[in-house]
Structure 1
C-alpha cells in the first residue's frame, strides 16, 4: 500500500511539474490555495507592498480584503493557476482565498446574511446561527479541527489576543467591530469554540422601532421627554433582547446635548455632533489597564450633559450611580428581566464594592439616583417589545424603593397600555432641566403641585 501511494504521489508531482511548464495542470481547490499561500510572502516583498494591518471598523476591513483580493488575483493570473472547482469562476476562487487568509472563512455567507445576528461555533463541525430571532443549524463547517483552531487564532490575533491551555482559556475580543468570545479545551468539552455577535453597520433608527411596534408612539414621546429632561434611565433586558439597539436609537434620536459614551466594546456610535467616545483598555499589567469605572469618573470632569454607559456589570455600577447623584444624566444598559431585578442587581453590585454601607443605605442611594427603567424582551412568536417603563423612587416613609409602572405591554391584548402618570417629584426635576410646563402637564398625575 505505501508503494502504491508513493507511485501515485510521484505521478502527481510529475504531472504538476509538466503542467506548470505547459500551463495545463488543473489544481484542486486545496492545492491551489496552498500554492497561493506559499507564494504570497515573496510576491509581497518583491513588489514592496505595504499591507494594511490592525483592527478597525467594517470599512477598514473591506479595504484590507480588497488589498488582498488584488494581490491574490495577480498571483492567480500571473502563475496561470487553474482550479478544478472554479474553472469558470476565477473571482470565486479569489474570494475564497481572501476569506481564508483575512476574512470569515466558511462563515462568510453567515456574515453576509443581514438576517443573521449571532454565530455559534460549538465545534469545528457543529455551527448554529440565529437568523431573524430563530436558531438554526448552519449548513457549512470547517475542514478539520486544525483548520478551525487556525481560524480562531487568526481572529484573536487581529485584536492582539491569543488563546491557550495556560492562562488564556477564555478570551473576549473584537474582530472588526464584531464581538467575539473564544473558549478552548479542557474548558470547552468538545474542543475549541468561538461565538460571534455581529455588528450591524445599518443601525436601527427610532422609526424602525416604531414601525416594528417595539414600543408605541406614546411611549417614544414619553422617553423623548425623559431624555430631554435629563432623567437617569436604565434600559434592561436579557441577552439578545435588543436593549443596546434600542438605547442607540433613543440617544441618536433624542439626546442632542454634549454626550460622553463609555463602553468596553464600541457599539453605540452616537450621532450627536458634540460627543466623546471612551473605550476601556485591558492589559496584563493592572497599572496600564483602563476600566469602565475609570472612564466614568473621568467623564464626570469633562462636563457632559449625558453620560451613556454601554453595559454595567461590575464595579462601574458604583461610578455610574455616583454620576447620577452628581447631576449628570446617565443612561445605561444592564441584564435584568424586570424593574425590580434591575434595581436589585445594581444594589448587589454596589454592595460588593462598598460592603460596609449596608443594604438600607445602598437601596436609598440607588432608589434616589435612578429615575426610570425601560425593560425590553424578545418574545418568541411576537418579537422584541418594550414590556415596561417604570418610575423608580425611594419612599422615605417606608424606607424602600418604590416602583410605579407607567407603561406596560399587555400580552392578552397584544398591545401597549398606560397604567399611571409621572409623579410630581420627577416632573419637578424635569422642569428644572428646562422641560416646559405645558409639555409636562399631560404626563403628570398631580401637575397642580408643580
Structure 2
C-alpha cells in the first residue's frame, strides 16, 4: 500500500532559515537543535499533506513506520536539507513517534530505568529514576501538541477528555497508569502523569537486592501468604505497595482461584487460575459506573479462594472486611497510610463512608478479626523503597485494636552518598499466628523472632 500523494502538493514554500552561531559548543548545539526543530516541523507539515491517515490506521506498526520513513526520506531529499544523516534519522524517528506513538514521550517510555513520567505543561517534563525526581531535556512543541497526545491516549481506551470532562484516568497498552487533567482545571496548561508498568515481574530476590527487606523476613512473608493469613500493605504514594503485593501474590499456590479487583489493572499474577476485574468510570451522561465495591460484592459470587484488591479507597472496605471474615482467608490489599495504626483508622473511616450505623466498637472488632498482618512500606529520602515494619493484629482490648510489632527497620544515619544506613531488628515477640502456621505444616523457626536477631 502507498500512503503518499507527492504530486498533490506544491513547491516553493520558504525554507527554515539556517541558524549560524559563533559563541561556543553550548550555543552551537542549541542552534543545531533549533535548526532540527524547524526542519522537523516543515517535513512534518508536508508529510501530513501527502499522508492518507485512514489508510495508515489499517497498517501494522512496522509497515506504517517503514512507509513513513520512506516518504520522510524522499521529502528530505527533495528539500536538500543541510543536516547530517544522524540528524535526518532523528527527525524521522520523532515524526514517527508523533504520528504513531506518544511523541516526545516515546524515548522516556522506552527507558526501563524510569518509574514515573510527569508532564507539567508542554515544556516541563520530569521523570523518577531510582526514587528521585529529575527534569529531562524533552518537550512538546505547544500545549496543542500535548493535548493531541493526551487525546490519543484516552481515546484508545474508549475515554474522552474535553472542557466538559477535563479529568481522566486511562491505561497505556503496556499497562502503565495514566492521569490527565486539562484547562480550565489545570491553570498553567495540560498535565499528564504516567505511572510506569513493570514489564518483568519483580521477584523477592530482586527486592532483597534493592534493600527492601532481608532474606529472613522474606521467608516469614512467604509463610504468611502460604498460611492464608489476611495481609494489609500500608504506605505512602510511590512507596512500593503494589510492587510488594505483586511479589507476595507469587507465593499463592497454583491450585487456588484468585480474583483481583483494581481501579487500573496493574497486578501481574502468574498463577493459572486468576480472574481480573477492573472498575469502570461513568460515561458522559454520568451513568454506567462500576465501583470497586460493586466488584468486591460480585466477586463473592465467583467462588474465589482469595480476593486481592489492588487498593482500598472507599466504601468497598466494608465488603472486603466481610469477605476476609467469611471464608476468604489469605486475601490481600493495600491502602495509603503513614503508619500501621493510621491504616486501621483509615479503614474504620472508610467503613463509616458506607453510611452504616454500626457502632465504632463493632467496626473495630470487624477490622481486628479480618486482618492478621500489617506491612508498612516507605520510600526513604535516598529513593529506596523499604519494608519498615511488620505488625500482627492481636484482637481487641476494650475499644482499642491491639497490635504487636514483630520486626522494624532501625535507622542509624546516612552515609557520604546520602544512602540511608540501618538494620532490621526483631522485637522479641513471638506472633500468635506462629501456632497457626505450625498446624498447617509451615515451619517458622522461633529463633527468627529472637531480639538478638539482626540483619
Counterparts of 2:15 and 2:182, CA distance in 1? 42
Pair 1:88-2:89 in alignment: no
Specify the alignment match of 2:290 in structure 1. Answer: 290
C-alpha deviation, 1:81, in angstroms: 4.9
How much has 1:250 moved relative to structure 2?
Answer: 1.6
How many angstroms does 1:88 deviate by? 1.5
Could you give the per-residue CA deviations for residues 142-168 of structure 1, whole angstroms, max 9, x where no partner exists? 1122222222222222222222222x1
Secondary structure in structure 2 of the residue aligned to 1:404: strand
Query: What do the CA deviations read for 1:30-71 (whole angstroms, capped 9, x no partner)?
Result: 1211222232227828xxx724xxxxxxxxxxxx64343123
**Structure 1 residue 390: Cα displacement:** 0.5
2:425 aligns with 417
| Structure 1 position 206, deviation (Å) | 0.9
SS at match of 1:261: strand
Structure 2 unpaired stretches of 5+: 1-9, 17-35, 413-420, 451-455
Supply the RMSD in Å over aligned alpha carbons. 2.8
Query: What is the CA–CA distance in structure 2 between the aligned matches of 1:356 and 1:42, rounded to whole Å?
Result: 58
User: 1:85, CA displacement in angstroms?
Assistant: 6.9
**Deviation of 1:92 (Å):** 3.3
Give yes or no for contact 2:202–2:243 (8 Å, CA) kept in 1: yes
- Number of aligned residues: 407
Indicate the residue corresponding to 1:263 in structure 2: 262
C-alpha distance after superposition, 1:342-364 (max 9, x if no partner): 11111100011133112111111
Q: TM-score, normalised by structure 2?
A: 0.82
Q: In the alignment, which residue of structure 2 is the partner of 1:239?
A: 237
Deviations 1:376-402 (A, max 9, x none): 11111261110001001322x423201
Contact 1:421 1:443 in 2 (8 A): no
TM value normalised by structure 1: 0.83
User: 75, 98, 103: which one pairs with 1:100?
Assistant: 98
CA distance in 2, matches of 1:97, 1:196: 22
In the alignment, which residue of structure 1 is the partner of 2:203?
A: 205
Task: Write out aligned runs for 1:31-42 (5 A).
Answer: 31-41=42-52
Q: Is the 8 A contact 2:130 2:383 kept in 1?
A: no
Poorly superposed stretches of 4+, deviation over 6 Å? none
Greater helix share, structure number = 1
Partner of 1:316: 316
Between 257-266 and 239-248, the greater mean CA deviation after superposition:
257-266
Q: Is the 8 A contact 2:437 2:443 kept in 1?
A: no
Deviates more, 1:260-269 or 1:157-166: 157-166
The aligned counterpart of 1:307 is: 307
Task: Report what 1:60 is aligned to.
Answer: none
**2:172 maps to 1:175:** yes
CA contact (8 A) 1:233 1:330 kept: yes
Note the C-alpha offset of 1:197: 1.1
